[in-house]
Copies of this chain bind each other. A is one copy, B any other.
Amino acid sequence: MSKLVEVAIVGASGYSGEELIRLVLRHPNARLTVITSRQYEGRKLLDVFPQFSAFPVASELVFVKPDVHLIARHAKFAFMALPHGVSASMVPDLLLHGVRIADLSADFRLRDADVYKEFYGADHPCPQLLSKAVYGLPEIYREEIKTAELIACPGCYPTSILLPLIPLLKEKKINPTKIIVNSMSGVTGAGRKVELQYLFSECNESLRAYGFPKHRHLSEIEQELSKAAEQRVIIEFIPHLVPVNRGILTTICTDITDTFENKQNCNPGEVAVKSWQAFYANEPFIRVYQGNYLPDTKNVVGTNVIEFGCRFDPRTNKLIIVSAIDNIVKGAAGQAIQCFNIVNNFDERCGLV
């Protein structure tokens, strides 16, 4: 019999929090004991999110105020789905109380407090924890996650960008100084923010770029790409908002290096696919497309899978990579569950298929 891990979800009223609730309720080895929300404090889970009524334990859950002692008393593991900055105010205390944490905010993703300050505009509230945190990208940091006390789950855009690029950078197959990324995100990516620009009639039948040239996610993207490339990487990143609920489609334009060109009669697209297949052999949540197939967010929405593929353009000598994820699952709550499974030595698919 598997052990049943007691779990808290802190900040459970946004889209990622809601998805965490769903995933923890479905998880065969987890028991949801605490859900916090300042906004919904005192209200029953099923009053706020009736969609969970078919889960046996859901009817007993009530939103409470976030409180370290209460969380520590009832949970061994906490998912933090709080806004950036707020998470860091609770994490140190929770760690002291022995609660292991998967933090979905950006607070502990960066290794360098100066970069944090540059991108988030404030001094980091607890820089001493930055070196302790593990970046929660399981396909890259699985070993470190196993023993981590504090897992900093990657952002949604970073997940869609890092997973296809890291193997190619590690193998020096693409030029790290020439990477251009265009991403499209569904509107849940903005969170449950009540702002004019996110009204249905303002988003539906609308396509727009936003947040560039210095989107906050660049900081963690470049940190991880630099590590893979073993040199400082700066990229161009242009996010767009498009009228779907969920999904990120990322299109990456790269210059191949002469590791490709040396080999005669080889198609760089096929070489990239072989690299990915080798690097990600047996990864349950990575789907690499061959041939003419290309990613489509509708294949990943509702799943923890990232899918990617590529095409080579012989006219420009560029390799174009396309990836797709569900921004709320592999880009947030699902990836956090995957980390939770690793920490607890469960099958990584547990609760995710």
Contact = CB atoms under 8 A, between A and B. Distances in A.
A263 interface: no
A213 B310 CA distance: 10
A240 interface: yes
Interface stretch (A75-83, A128-136, A139-147, A315-323): A315-323
A217 interface: no
Given A192-B199, A194-B194, A305-B53, A204 B236 contact: no
Given A15-B201, A200-B204, A205-B205, A293 B240 contact: no
A285 B54 contact: yes
Interface in A208-267: 208-210, 212-214, 234-236, 238, 240, 242-249, 251, 253
A186 B246 CA distance: 18
Contact of A205 (B184, B253, B301, B313): B301
A213 B303 CA distance: 29
- Which one of A293, A311, A313 has the highest number of Cβ atoms from chain B below 10 Å of its Cβ? A313
Contact of A297 (B207, B315, B324): B207
Nearest to A285: B54
Contact of A320 (B238, B247, B253): B238
A93 interface: no
- Of the four ranges (under 10, 10 to 19, 20 to 34, 35 or more), the interface on chain A belongs to 35 or more
A214 B315 contact: yes
Interface string A287-322: 101000111111111111101000111111010101
A180 B303 CA distance: 31
Nearest to A234: B315
A41 interface: no
A96 interface: no
Given A200-B200, A200-B243, A234-B315, A293 B50 contact: yes
16 contacts: A53-B305, A55-B353, A186-B201, A187-B204, A192-B201, A194-B194, A194-B195, A198-B199, A200-B200, A204-B245, A205-B245, A207-B249, A207-B324, A212-B311, A213-B316, A234-B316
Pairs A-B, 10 closest by C-beta atoms = A213-B313, A207-B249, A200-B203, A206-B298, A182-B182, A208-B296, A187-B200, A207-B297, A51-B299, A200-B200
Given A208-B296, A209-B322, 15 more contacts: A25-B353, A51-B303, A53-B287, A54-B349, A55-B353, A194-B194, A206-B247, A207-B244, A208-B295, A208-B297, A209-B294, A213-B314, A213-B320, A243-B243, A302-B302
